[in-house]
Amino acid sequence: MLNNIIASVLPFFPEKLVWIFSKRYIAGESLEDALRVSKELNSQNIEVTLDVLGEFQTRLEKIEFYKATYLNTIHESVKAGINSTFSVKPTMFGLLIDKEVCYSHIRDIVKLASSNNSFIRIDMEDSKCTDLEMELYKRLFDEFPRNVGLVLQAYLKRTMDDIMDLNTLNTKENPVNIRLCKGIYIEPEEIAYKKKHEINLHFAEDLEFMMANRFRVAIATHDEKLVQEAYKIIEKHNISNDMFEFQMLYGVTPELRKTILAGKYRMRVYVPFGKEWFNYSTRRLKENPRMVSHILKAIVIRK
Ligand code: FDA
């Protein structure tokens, strides 16, 4: 209840105040901020995935602007020697308005990543986008199998079917590359698991199926129980280190991150940056008011 109230009034707070909540989770407004944070993480043996903030775009000039921003981000991070991949949200490129325009922009970004031996992850957005983002991934995988990956959400009831579907593309030479997360959007009960224990159960099932079938997997969670579950699956199926990595969001549970790194596992941190941080932070909070308590807890406990 209190979470809901705080989340709904936060957009009316002055930006400076919201920044106090947000700065822990966002590298800053500029590419320089993102590169500085990335260098710092790289120096701790942590790889990064850079994300330019901004989603659900409808104006063509804005979409062009974001493509140019991504291309420049790839150029500059390669030039700066950052150990990085990149994450994109297809609605930034007009997915829900014109899927061909979106495909063509993201293809240009993946092409540049491919020519630099880098990698683009297609983030998974709300359930209006799931079919479209699956289709987008399959098209790009066909052309750039080593340079593109997708995200799947364990809370969606359809996810195991999507995994089975992607398994038909999976080969030893070109494994399908999936980041598995719980899912951040508020979805109706008909299509999504709601209870934490159900989501965790499906997360573990999805992860085990993908690992047993030799997908390349990014395990994106800050949930200590799921991290322990992942260790067991890795051991049970004897999964080599190059077939998986752990991923976490910038600013979240750095202590858990350290214990994973100490186990000699690979770790990548998702680093969002850009001028759209205000909308991003407040929308995220409205979508998922439980985040308010995570944030308050993190500010107080700073674990
Ligand atoms: P859970 O929410 O149970 O959190 C476990 C513990 O972690 C909490 O008790 C708390 O201590 C801490 N915690 C979690 N989030 C926190 C926060 N923001 N601040 C402070 N503490 C926090 N979702 C999606 O729908 N599409 C996507 O493409 C992505 N991409 C993505 C990339 C990466 C690298 C990560 C780590 C996550 C995503 N997500 C996502 C978000 C994901 O779906 C999920 O909402 C969050 O990771 C929170 O779920 P956990 O698994 O961490 O568990």
Q: Is 270 in the pocket of ligand 1 (CB under 6 A)?
A: yes
- Give yes or no for residue 40 having a pLDDT over 70: yes
Closest residue (by CA) to atom 11 of ligand 1?
Answer: 294
Rounded percentage of the chain residues whose pLDDT exceeds 70: 89
Q: Is 120 in the pocket of ligand 1 (CB under 6 A)?
A: no
**Helices assigned H by DSSP within the chain:** 2-9, 15-22, 31-43, 60-79, 99-115, 130-143, 159-167, 196-212, 224-236, 254-262, 277-287, 290-301
Rounded to the nearest angstrom, the gap between the alpha carbon of residue 36 and the centroid of all alpha carbons in its chain is 20
Q: State residue 279's pLDDT score.
A: 78
Q: How confident is the model at residue 17 (pLDDT cuts 50, 70, 90)?
A: confident
Alpha-carbon distance of 188 to 178, in angstroms, equals 24
Alpha-carbon distance of 199 to 185, in angstroms, equals 13
Average pLDDT over residues 240-267: 95
Residue type for position 162: D
Q: State residue 299's pLDDT score.
A: 57
- Give yes or no for residue 226 having a pLDDT over 90: yes
The CATH fold assigned to 27-273 is TIM Barrel (3.20.20)
pTM of the model: 0.94
Q: Ligand 1 centroid to 182 CA: how many Å? A: 7
Q: Ligand 1 centroid to 224 CA: how many Å? A: 12
All structural domains of the chain with their residue ranges? 27-273
Q: Is 151 in the pocket of ligand 1 (CB under 6 A)?
A: yes
Q: Residue 180 is encoded by which pair of tokens?
A: 């598995």
Average pLDDT over residues 150-165: 98
Q: State residue 303's pLDDT score.
A: 45
Closest residue (by CA) to atom 1 of ligand 1?
Answer: 223
Q: Is 282 in the pocket of ligand 1 (CB under 6 A)?
A: no
Q: Ligand 1 centroid to 292 CA: how many Å? A: 13
Alpha-carbon distance of 118 to 78, in angstroms, equals 9
Q: Ligand 1 centroid to 2 CA: how many Å? A: 20
Ligand 1 atom with minimal separation from the 221 CA: 51
> What phi-psi label fits residue 186: left (phi over 0), alpha (psi between -120 and 50 degrees) or beta?
beta
Average pLDDT over residues 163-169: 98
Q: State residue 209's pLDDT score.
A: 98
Which residues on adjacent β-strands are paired with residue 48? 84, 269
Q: Ligand 1 centroid to 69 CA: how many Å? A: 26
Q: Ligand 1 centroid to 229 CA: how many Å? A: 16
